[in-house]
Amino acid sequence: MICENSIVLTMKWLELPEIPMQSIEVDSGHKIDVLRLDKTDDYISGNKWFKLKYNLIEASNLGYSQLLTFGGAYSNHIHSTAAACKSFGLQGIAIVRGEEHLPLNPTLQFAKDCGMKVHYINRSQYRDKYNPALIKKFEQLFGKFYLVPEGGTNELAVKGASEIPDLFQKQYDVIALASGTGGTTAGITINNICKHSKILSFPVLKGGGFLQKDIEDLLGYVPSNLELVTDYHFGGYAKTTTELLEFIVDVNDEFNIPLEPIYTGKAFYGLLDYLKTKGIDEETSVLYLHTGGLQGNNEVILS
């Protein structure tokens, strides 16, 4: 039976949050609307709120008291999941790639402060993390749990992400966002308001073209209006350059839009460069989806 508290929490999460839209004009002359998903919640940041939403509700409805997920030591997903589990009254469990390093980085320290259990496995095990035998070992170690994949991406995450365009104020010619696992990109493509938009998805991992197959697996097809722009990873996941860091400072100074160098800074840099180099008409309506994750400002490696 679902407890009364779970019903109240479910109703709270079913309500779409109020998200501000910010309009700016950049040096190329293009006007860009920025949907500030970074303001969704103080801790459950940006697109993660939408990706976790129906997973949390499902875990509660099925009677689970624990939620287990995976991520690297700098994972936005782990950071947000820790806060979401605390909010929803679930025990969070994070399976982290690699070995423990003390003192903990800000992401993992925050997770533990939220009450999340953090368990480390080696990189070889992590590559095989969904192996049923390994999942069974986790069940023996922690007890029964609801499993959310790395990055939070599954069918329920896509369902949640598909609601993000309901916050748009109009249809856009171009919609741009960062991508890690492709779940948010997949979600927005299935909302009718985006059917005639060009979706520019900027993978933050080196060799991010693999996301096309992952998105196809999630949707059963590759959206014809989707373009993966893979040239703006700046060295790979959680890596950055002096150029990117200076760009992020400049954007914040000029537009009061905070970015971070793991996801949003790379994608926004890529969008501005794309608009200039591809000769996109200045009258083109453009939306940048700020997917949050500003805690990533503490978690970068200079390339």
Q: Specify the residue for token string 């009258």.
A: 283
Tokens read off for 112: 């533990």
- Give me the CATH topology for the region 49-152: Rossmann fold (3.40.50)
User: Each residue's pLDDT tens digit in the chain (303 positions)?
Assistant: 233 444 445 556 677 788 999 999 999 999 999 999 999 988 887 999 999 999 999 998 999 999 999 998 888 899 999 999 998 889 999 999 999 999 999 899 999 999 999 999 999 999 999 999 999 999 999 999 999 999 899 999 999 999 999 999 899 999 999 999 999 999 999 999 999 999 999 999 999 999 999 999 999 999 999 999 999 999 998 889 999 999 999 999 999 999 999 999 999 999 999 999 999 999 999 999 999 988 777 666 665
User: CA 151, CA 52: separation in Å to the nearest integer?
Assistant: 10
Phi, psi of 289 (to 5 degrees): -95, 100
Alpha helices, DSSP H only, in the chain?
A: 4-14, 47-61, 76-88, 106-113, 123-127, 132-142, 155-161, 183-189, 211-219, 242-255, 264-277
- Give the closest residue to 140 by CA, choosing from 115, 126, 119: 119
pLDDT of residue 7: 47
Q: Give the pLDDT of residue 132.
A: 97
- Supply the pTM of this predicted model: 0.91
Q: Contact 272/209 with Cβ under 8 angstroms?
A: no
pLDDT of residue 43: 87
Residues carrying CATH 3.40.50.1100, the chain: 11-43+155-302, 49-152
Specify the pLDDT at position 110. 94
- Per-residue pLDDT at 2: 35
What pLDDT, on a 0 to 100 scale, did the predictor assign at position 303?
57
Q: Give the pLDDT confidence score for residue 238 in this predicted structure.
A: 82
Topology given in CATH for the domain delimited by 11-43+155-302: Rossmann fold (3.40.50)
Residue for token pair 């040096």: 27
